[in-house]
Amino acid sequence: MSKSNVHPKFAELARQIEEQFATGEFVMPFGVNRSAITQKPYRGMNALMLMWVRMLEGYRSTEWLTLKQANQKKWKVAKGAKGTVVAFYSRVETKDSTPELPKHYWLAKYYTVFNKDQLLDENGDKLVCPDVLIDIDSETQIKTLDQIAKASGVKVNIVEGGSNAFYSRANHAVTLPAILDFDSVKGFITTYAHELGHSSGKVLRADWEKGSFGSIPYAKEEVVAELCSVFLSSMLGLDKIPLSSHSAYIAGWLNLAKSVDPEFFGKAVDEASKAAIWMYSLTLPTEDFGENAADTEAVV
């Protein structure tokens, strides 16, 4: 899909999010954004955009739907409310392929969705949207990450007095400094989530090219892992992702990856959200993401 086919509002919001991500000051509200009709989660850039809009507008609900869907429930959009553009892609096969015309291409369809906080019931009263739970203690958050590691077969090594955190693909193991070696418990949790993001690659990105430190493949994997940390942290109830201490580090990897693929950020978001949803679904069966959680997305 060429840039000229991208919805301008979608493109502008994506640009804002990418810029904010690169600064390291990235604030995300808690909760998995999903369709109010099917309860399936949004994925990729849609998920990140809806997180971002919820933060900007202060919406309490994590549920979204189109105007048509709202009308079917006899709900109305509040006067002056503005919707958010989301994109869905379908694969189109071409009859006769040539070097200039590939066998298939991806066609984007754009929809405008509204948060349930923007809706009124049939009597004209604001819909009751309970606050999303955000008071999850750090012990529970860490236990959830431990469960993810166990369910995905990742060995976790905690090193007292350690200074390095890393994932070993050969051993399928994550090594972390002890909690007290971090500036905050939150820093430990988001770093843990980052390394688990790397570990998901063994299952979900097995065909990705591997590379040494400083290489393009290494840069791409770092961006995906950090975005995975953003998604997982949001799911765990961390509304502030503490990236400022290494913003230059993340921006550097993103710029390196984009030097060979200017559209890489969007691809990384899709991979990261898929990984986060897959890991989250391993240990939280009450979140019904379907049989193939990594490939399931809300469709309007």
The pLDDT tens digits for 205-236 are 888 888 888 899 889 999 899 888 888 877 77
- Rounded Cα distance between 183 and 268, Å, is 28
pLDDT > 70 fraction of the chain, expressed in percent and rounded: 73
User: What is the rounded CA–CA span in Å between residue 174 and residue 153?
Assistant: 11
- Look at residues 230, 267, 231, 234 and name the one whose alpha carbon lies nearest to residue 250: 230
How far apart are alpha carbons 75 and 286 in whole angstroms? 28
Encode pLDDT of 137-192 as tens digits.
788 889 989 999 999 999 999 999 988 999 999 999 999 999 999 888 888 988 99
Q: Give the model's pLDDT for residue 192.
A: 93
- Taking residues 52-70, report their average pLDDT: 88
Mean pLDDT of the 275-280 span: 85
SS3 182: coil
Residue 241: CA atoms inside 13 Å, Cβ hemisphere, count? 34
What is the structure's pLDDT at 159?
95
Low-confidence winner among 13-22, 140-149, 190-199, 284-293 (lowest mean pLDDT)? 284-293
Per the prediction, the chain carries an average pLDDT of 79
pLDDT of residue 276: 85
User: pTM of this prediction?
Assistant: 0.66
Q: H-helix or E-strand containing 277?
A: helix 264-283
Residue 77 has pLDDT above 70, yes or no: yes
